[in-house]
Amino acid sequence: MTKIEEVKAKVEAGKSKLVPGLVQEALDAGNNPQDILDAMVDSMGVVGEKFSTGEIFVPEMLIAAKAMSKGVDVLKPHLAGDGSSKLGTCVIGTVAGDLHDIGKNLVSLMIESAGFDMVDLGVDVPAETFVQAIKDNDNVKIVACSGLLTSTMPALKEAVAAIKASGLTGFKVIVGGAPVTPEYAAEIGADGFAPDAGTAAVKAKELVA
Amino acid sequence: MNKRENMELIFQHKQPDWIPHLGNDTYGIRDYVVERPIMTTGDDAWGCHWISCPSSLNITHPDGADIKFEDLENWRENINIPDLEKVDFTPMIEEAKAFTNRDEKMIQYVSLNGIFERTHILMGFENALCACMEEPEEFGEMLKAVAEHKIRLFKKVYDIAQPDILVYHDDMATQASQFLNTNFYKKYLFPLYKQIVEAAREMGYKYVMQHSCGRIEKIIPEWLECGFDGWDSVMPCNDLYEIKKEFGDKIVFMPGLDTQGVLGKIGSSRQEIEEMVVRWMNMLASDGTGLIIDATLAYSLNPANEVICLEFIKKHGKPFMDAKKAGIEYIPDLEV
């Protein structure tokens, strides 16, 4: 097994104590930092898929994301440019009137692991705050709006409408949350929908490809 | 038959006179003294901060910035398990004085933030779940410490209000799947649940239910071995027809109904809501047994729909049971 393969396997297994050392060893062995990063992103893709299919549960996904994050810390000084993501920035938040953050946090972790820089606005986020965040941050490529309650679905609609009406361009809007369906996402004008965190990362990458 | 007797029949898995609503048919006491401030920003007795959200009916949520520890290295030093002798239970004592007709109505105590949920509040959800995977034995030790506190708290509340029913809140799942693999539940959580249920019964609580949102269908057999009498929340992400068929003689169902469907939706018609309630009655009380309805604002956040729902249950709960006893299908006249 090559060093990069080892990094990949340990990220997938969520070995956050081992991954930083292995990343350093992979660098010392002369591997390209970008290749190491790509390997970790790939392993998170596998993790996301396993989560989506029910093969693993939330904690397995969390420790894999944590392991990758530790690896990225070692890698960052060696990456080209300012270390910011080549995929761009993702602004994420739970819409106004909704306090549920767990699903949103998991989606954030997985999208970050897919290679985006994240701007997390938290919960109970008014539509105009999403718009302001798009203005305030560079290279926003994805805006992800989450809502768990049926009663806050109108707020989801309002957020998407405000973002679309802002005149700002260059990004795609994805939505998700328990009561949200692909049909509802299309109806309110979102560019994408994901039923879970693993799929959200895949969808985000698809939309910026 | 009074409300107490009717409720008793449900826990005996016999046909009641009517389908009850928990809020209407029992006295209720909630734990806002120790585990969670309700409708207002403030600290609980653990010193954890909660924020009330005005745009969400003032419901409180844990302050994510107020995490007590991120990993388990020094949890024993950093955890602040409440000393119940120093907690002022006066509001609960005063509330219990209003329970004047105990012969007619049961008392239910809703205990918020179970042992697993408390770890999320202390450490943050993600940190807690990582700790489950990375240091399960130590996590288990923390769960034990929290469970010991819970048992002390249940005793205190029993001494104050002598509730008949304990509704123990501890979410075990997301809507897609359980939080953790089944082995974790079996090794670390369920033995403590069993201990909690047994201790509560010894104190005098007649019935112990667990509230868990999410999809728990795969762990129901193991969960039932903990000794619970019923399941609160009962979300439709589970195969409820199958669960009723297989475990209907062992579980009292206390659903919040279709909170993510017509009950939560703004603009649902009266007819849509009523049809939904009848559908749930037929699903979970298909044989007339084992159903208490627990649709509350906290679940749906939609007061107008809840009013319709409660009116309907009050009006149709008895005719529904009369039809069941007569062996005929209940077809109500729905208001359009």
pLDDT (tens digit, 9 = 90+) per residue, B92-131?
999 999 999 999 999 999 999 999 999 999 999 989 999 9
Neighbouring-strand partners of residue A89 = A117, A140
Measure in Å the smallest separation between the Cα of B327 and chain A Cα atoms.
Answer: 36
pLDDT of residue B74: 96
Residue ranges per structural domain of chain A: 3-78, 89-208
Domains within chain B, CATH numbers bracketed = 3-326 (3.20.20.210)
Over its C-alpha atoms, chain A yields an Rg (Å, rounded) of 17
**Quick check: B61 pLDDT over 60?**
yes
Q: Name the least confident of B264-278, B279-293, B316-330.
A: B264-278
**CB burial class (10 A; 0-12, 13-18, 19+) of residue B152?**
middle
The percent of residues above 90 in pLDDT, for chain B, comes to: 81
Q: Which fold does the domain A89-208 belong to in CATH?
A: Rossmann fold (3.40.50)
The whole-angstrom separation of Cα A152 and Cα A178 is 11
The whole-angstrom separation of Cα B140 and Cα B192 is 9
pLDDT of residue A98: 85
Q: Which is it for the CA torsion A74, A77, A80, A85, positive or negative?
A: positive
Per the model's pLDDT, the better-predicted residue between B38 and B210 turns out to be B210
Q: Name the least confident of A132-146, B140-154, B301-315.
A: B301-315
CATH number of A3-78: 1.10.1240.10
Average pLDDT over residues A155-172: 96
Task: Give yes or no for B130 touching A (CB within 8 A).
Answer: yes
B301 pLDDT tier (thresholds 50, 70, 90): low
Task: Give yes or no for A16 touching B (CB within 8 A).
Answer: yes
Per the model's pLDDT, the better-predicted residue between B215 and B53 turns out to be B215
B53/A99 Cβ within 8 A: yes
pLDDT of residue A198: 87
Per the model's pLDDT, the better-predicted residue between B91 and A150 turns out to be B91
For the segment B11-45, what is each residue's pLDDT rounded down to a tens digit? 999 999 999 999 999 999 988 899 999 889 999 99
- What rounded mean pLDDT belongs to chain B? 93
A149/B177 Cβ within 8 A: no
The whole-angstrom separation of Cα B194 and Cα B137 is 18
Task: Give yes or no for B181 touching A (CB within 8 A).
Answer: yes
**Quick check: B334 pLDDT over 90?**
no
Nearest CA in chain A to B260: A150
Average pLDDT over residues A137-154: 90
Number of residues assigned to chain A:
209
A83 pLDDT tier (thresholds 50, 70, 90): low
Structure-token match 């806002």, residue found: B32
Task: Give yes or no for A20 touching B (CB within 8 A).
Answer: no
- 3-class state of residue B64 by DSSP: coil
Q: Which two tokens stand for residue A127?
A: 């539509």
The whole-angstrom separation of Cα B316 and Cα B20 is 10
**Quick check: A85 pLDDT over 70?**
no
Task: Give yes or no for B55 touching A (CB within 8 A).
Answer: yes
How far, CA to CA in Å, does B321 sit from each of A69, B242, B270, B288? 57, 22, 22, 6
ipTM summary value:
0.83
- 3-class state of residue B151 by DSSP: helix
pLDDT of residue B267: 84
AA identity, residue A118: M
pLDDT of residue A84: 58
Neighbours of A28 (CB within 10 A): 9
A154/B260 Cβ within 8 A: no
A16/B53 Cβ within 8 A: no
How far, CA to CA in Å, does B193 sit from each of B121, B181, B225? 19, 17, 10
For the segment B151-170, what is each residue's pLDDT rounded down to a tens digit? 999 999 999 999 999 999 99
A103/B259 Cβ within 8 A: no
A5 pLDDT tier (thresholds 50, 70, 90): very high
The whole-angstrom separation of Cα B301 and Cα B55 is 10
Instruction: With beta carbons under 8 A apart, name residues in chain B contacting A105.
Output: 125-126
For residue A34, give the nearest of A76, A6, A82 by alpha carbon: A76
**In the 3-class helix/strand/coil scheme, how is chain A assigned residue by residue?**
CCHHHHHHHHHHCCCCCCHHHHHHHHHHCCCCHHHHHHHHHHHHHHHHHHHHCCCCCHHHHHHHHHHHHHHHHHHHHHCCCCCCCCCCEEEEEEECCCCCCHHHHHHHHHHHHCCCEEEECCCCECHHHHHHHHHHCCCEEEEEEECCCHHHHHHHHHHHHHHHHCCCCCCEEEEECCCCCHHHHHHCCCCEECCCHHHHHHHHHHHHC
Task: Give yes or no for A102 touching B (CB within 8 A).
Answer: yes
For the segment B222-268, what is each residue's pLDDT rounded down to a tens digit? 999 999 999 999 999 999 999 999 999 999 999 989 887 888 888 88
Task: Give yes or no for B158 touching A (CB within 8 A).
Answer: no
Across the beta sheet with A89-94, the strand order is A117-120, A89-94, A140-146, A172-176, A192-193
Average pLDDT over residues B136-156: 98
For the segment A177-186, what is each residue's pLDDT rounded down to a tens digit? 988 999 999 9
Nearest CA in chain B to A66: B130
pLDDT of residue B119: 97
**Quick check: A82 pLDDT over 60?**
no
pLDDT of residue A143: 97
Instruction: With beta carbons under 8 A apart, name residues in chain A contacting B56.
Output: 97-99, 124
